[in-house]
Amino acid sequence: MNILFMGDVAGESGLRGLEKTLPELRRTYGADLTLVNGENAAGVGMTPAQAERIFYAGADVITLGNHAFDRREILNVIDSDARILRPANLPRLPGRGSGIFEAKHRDVGVLVLSGRVGMDYSPDNPFITAEKEVAELQKSCRVILVDFHGEATSEKVAMKFALAGKVSLLVGTHTHVQTADEQICSGTGYITDLGMCGPEESVIGVDPAWALEQFRCGKAFTGKNWPEGDAVISGVFCEIGDHDGKCVRIARILKTVKL
Ligand SMILES: [Fe+2]
Ligand SMILES: [Fe+2]
């Protein structure tokens, strides 16, 4: 089974870049299931119209993170559309944190978790949530995919050891900078961060002038606009054994798209 998992879509540049490349990536990799983290499609959060664009571009599942609830208009959609998942360790908010999807006539479990180190919203302990949620998904799924949305590399690497051998693929999201540590650990495909699908000329998606003013002065007044230049498209391709759910290949995807 072939899986495509694309990193945080950041702003209009990321959306347009994804729309331009995802159909071809799906064909090239023969994707049976395509997942996209959409939490920054609107900069912070994702509107229903942007969710539709991501699905139309080829996503089967949209995962979210700490910005899942920053656009109020998505609240009803998060609750009603089972293809959109927010972190499972924010259980008191609308929506769901895991789901079972069909690919190659098999059930595939997908779980989203938020980290706690350097993150807001006070999510429940992701390690305890992961134990419970993975045990539940294992009852019906051989193939389980996890998006661990976190700031700290330490927390994400620790999760690798918590879930190695128990899930098929564990990807980190949220930092918007792709790491070069893709690997297979006891049959689990792993990467600390997928990177983003967003503007190439940016500071993790935002205007460099805004980011520099923020860092230099402590407060920025130039407006937090999300630049619309050429996009960088980031993610992974992962090949998973249909019968045993083990990852046999993981490869990074990182390309620039002219818009
Ligand atoms: Fe995030
Ligand atoms: Fe993000």
Which pLDDT tens digit goes with each residue over 158-180? 999 999 999 999 999 999 999 99
C-alpha 173 – ligand 2 centre gap (Å): 7
Can you read off the two tokens belonging to residue 100?
A: 């079972």
Q: Which-ligand-closest: CA of 8?
A: 2
Residues 6+ apart with CB under 8 A from 212: 203
Low-confidence ranges of the chain (pLDDT < 50): none
C-alpha 67 – ligand 2 centre gap (Å): 7
CA distance readout (Å), 202 to 13, 177, 229: 11, 11, 9
| 122-131 long-range contacts, CB within 8 A, separation 24+ | 123/87, 123/89, 123/90, 124/89, 124/90, 124/91, 125/89, 126/87, 126/89, 126/150, 126/155, 126/159, 127/158, 127/159, 127/162, 129/88, 129/89, 129/97, 130/159, 130/162, 130/163, 131/162
| DSSP 8-state secondary structure symbol assigned to residue 33 | E
Q: Which-ligand-closest: CA of 67?
A: 1
C-alpha 39 – ligand 1 centre gap (Å): 7
The confidence score (pLDDT) of residue 222 equals: 77
The answer to whether residue 67 is catalytic is: yes
Q: Which-ligand-closest: CA of 69?
A: 1
C-alpha 93 – ligand 2 centre gap (Å): 19
Which pLDDT tens digit goes with each residue over 54-70? 999 999 999 999 999 99
Helices 48-57 & 11-29, crossing angle to 10 degrees?
Answer: 30
Nearest Cα neighbor of 45 from 3, 87, 11, 79 is: 11
C-alpha 244 – ligand 2 centre gap (Å): 32
| Spatial separation of the C-alpha atoms in residues 40 and 57, rounded to whole Å | 16
Fold for 2-200+229-257, please state it. Purple Acid Phosphatase; chain A, domain 2 (3.60.21)
The active-site residue out of 67, 149, 174, 176 is 67
The domain segmentation of the chain, as residue ranges, is: 2-200+229-257
Q: Which-ligand-closest: CA of 37?
A: 2
Instruction: Provide the 10 A C-beta neighbour count for residue 2.
Output: 17
Look up the pTM and report it.
Answer: 0.97
The confidence score (pLDDT) of residue 224 equals: 67
C-alpha 194 – ligand 1 centre gap (Å): 12
C-alpha 65 – ligand 2 centre gap (Å): 7
Residues with Cβ within 5 Å of ion ligand 1?
A: 65-66, 174
The confidence score (pLDDT) of residue 62 equals: 98
Which pLDDT tens digit goes with each residue over 189-205? 999 999 999 999 999 99
